[in-house]
């Protein structure tokens, strides 16, 4: 049996929706994009939103619209996809890294106190693996230090904190529709905000410094961060399937849990109390020889993934050493998670049999030790 790490969940309905774009000959931003934005605003619980080519550029644009730039510092957890931090660098500002919580892999708010300076302007909670950060504590911390919040909600569509959707807490929030996220447009992103001024700024920035296309007078500086109706058509169908997708992911996650919960060698990550759960992966920590386990599974046709490589160790970020301490001792939880973590897929096309097979192989490995 083979268990691929990733498999996009698109089918006949998405195909029909694309065909509709071709039949009407509306391919660039048009009615589908408009409808997609309206639906996303509802789901995310924000008043305004714009689409972006992907979440990485969405974060960059969101930071720009918040006024973040050279000389500013933005707090970023060091256990996340690299784009959380590169988007900050693209604005000319500096990402300053903090550790995560050992028990839930979310940003460690206590650690933020260590690196607050006059220059700290914003904080970027990253809702990790389909669960929410503790937004009660985070909002309190941000208010106390007068920081703007930009939520990296790339993995958090459908996720909420105490019933309030992720993406509705920050000045800005960004979602990803890359092929391995819960809802996909193949590539794509969404930027949400409740701030009318930020919304205005986003509209100028994303469309060459003008509000409407078709004019060649550009009142402001801007770029091209538009999406297209073909992608939005796929996204609309995916939103129609969202309830199914979310429940299927949860169901597969429960099967993994049921099969492995009796194994004390393995710690299973779920979600902090206060958050619901739309599993992004089935994530575990194995305190033993993680490499040996991973190799054993790979030889059995399974494709496990490690967790994120801590950002303070990234070769690409070596230059940040000049202005901040990036020693392993400051980031023990993310280093531990990286060294001991493994992820397994929960995409809707994955079968119960594949999950059980994966768990059997994990148990086989553990029993042989």
Ligand X SMILES: *Cc1c(COP(=O)(O)O)cnc(C)c1O
Binding site residues, ligand X, CB under 6 A: 54-56, 80-81, 83-84, 126, 152, 154-155, 176, 178, 189
> In whole angstroms, what is the distance from residue 91 CA to residue 285 CA?
35
Q: Which is nearer to ligand X, 4 or 31 (CB)?
A: 4
Q: Which is nearer to ligand X, 167 or 189 (CB)?
A: 189
Q: Which is nearer to ligand X, 81 or 296 (CB)?
A: 81
Of 195, 176, 225, 214, which Cα lies nearest the Cα of 40? 176
CA angle 40, 42, 48 (to 5 degrees): 70
Shortest CB 58 distance to ligand X, Å: 7
Shortest CB 118 distance to ligand X, Å: 27
Q: Which is nearer to ligand X, 255 or 276 (CB)?
A: 276
- Retrieve residue 24's tokens: 């009407």
The enclosing H or E element of 268 equals strand 266-268
Give the dihedral sign, CA 254/255/256/258: positive
Shortest CB 52 distance to ligand X, Å: 8
Sequence-distant (6+) residues with CB within 8 A of 66 are: 122, 148, 150, 171, 172, 198
Q: Which is nearer to ligand X, 115 or 186 (CB)?
A: 186
250 burial class (0-12, 13-18, 19+ CB within 10 angstroms)? middle
Pairing of strands 148-152, 172-176: parallel
Shortest CB 365 distance to ligand X, Å: 28
Evaluate whether 142 touches 109 at the Cβ level (below 8 Å): no
Q: Which is nearer to ligand X, 183 or 362 (CB)?
A: 183
Shortest CB 181 distance to ligand X, Å: 6
Pairing of strands 48-52, 148-152: unpaired
Sequence-distant (6+) residues with CB within 8 A of 8 are: 179, 180, 184, 186, 347
> In whole angstroms, what is the distance from residue 321 CA to residue 120 CA?
17
How many CB atoms neighbour CB 8 within 10 A? Answer: 16
Identify the DSSP state of 310. Answer: P
Q: Which is nearer to ligand X, 157 or 233 (CB)?
A: 157
Shortest CB 24 distance to ligand X, Å: 27
Q: Which is nearer to ligand X, 36 or 81 (CB)?
A: 81
> In whole angstroms, what is the distance from residue 236 CA to residue 4 CA?
26
Q: Which is nearer to ligand X, 133 or 359 (CB)?
A: 133
Shortest CB 176 distance to ligand X, Å: 3
Question: b/e per residue, 290-314, with b = 16+ CB within 10 A?
Answer: beebbebbeebebbbeebbbbbbbb
Q: Which is nearer to ligand X, 280 or 286 (CB)?
A: 280
Shortest CB 218 distance to ligand X, Å: 26
Tabulate helix, strand, coil % of the chain (nearest 5). Answer: 40, 15, 40
Shortest CB 187 distance to ligand X, Å: 7
Shortest CB 8 distance to ligand X, Å: 13
């Amino acid at each position: 049996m083979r268990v691929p790490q990733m498999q996009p969940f698109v089918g006949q309905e998405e195909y029909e929706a694309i065909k509709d774009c071709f039949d009407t000959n509306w391919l660039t931003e048009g009615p589908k994009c408009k409808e997609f934005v309206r639906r996303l605003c509802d789901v995310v619980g924000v008043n305004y939103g714009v689409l972006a080519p992907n979440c990485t550029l969405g974060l960059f644009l969101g930071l720009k619209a918040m006024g973040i730039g050279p000389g500013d510092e933005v707090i970023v957890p060091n256990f996340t996809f690299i784009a959380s931090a590169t988007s900050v660098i693209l604005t000319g500002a500096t990402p300053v890294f903090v550790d995560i919580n050992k028990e839930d892999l979310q940003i460690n708010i206590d650690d933020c106190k260590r690196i607050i300076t006059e220059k700290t302007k914003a904080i970027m909670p990253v809702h990790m693996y389909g669960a929410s950060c503790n937004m009660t504590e985070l909002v309190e911390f941000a208010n106390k230090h007068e920081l703007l919040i930009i939520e990296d909600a790339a993995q958090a569509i459908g996720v909420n904190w105490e019933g309030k959707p992720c993406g509705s807490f920050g000045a800005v929030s960004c979602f990803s529709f890359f092929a391995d996220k819960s809802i996909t447009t193949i590539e794509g992103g969404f930027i949400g905000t409740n701030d009318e001024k930020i919304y205005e700024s986003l509209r100028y920035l994303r469309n060459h410094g003008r509000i409407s296309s078709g004019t060649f007078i550009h009142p402001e500086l801007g770029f091209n961060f538009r999406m297209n109706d073909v992608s939005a058509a796929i996204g609309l169908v995916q939103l129609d399937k969202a309830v199914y997708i979310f429940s299927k992911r949860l169901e597969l996650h429960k099967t993994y849990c049921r099969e492995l919960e009796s194994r004390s060698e393995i710690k299973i990550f779920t979600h902090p109390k206060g958050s619901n759960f739309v599993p992004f992966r089935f994530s575990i920590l194995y305190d033993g020889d993680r490499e040996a386990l991973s190799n054993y599974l790979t030889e059995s046709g399974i494709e496990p993934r490690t967790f994120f490589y801590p950002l303070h160790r990234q070769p690409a970020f070596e230059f940040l050493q000049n202005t901040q301490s990036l020693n392993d001792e400051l980031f023990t939880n993310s280093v531990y998670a990286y060294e001991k973590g493994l992820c397994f897929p929960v995409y809707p096309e994955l079968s119960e049999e594949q999950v059980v097979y994966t768990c059997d192989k994990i148990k086989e490995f553990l029993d042989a030790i």
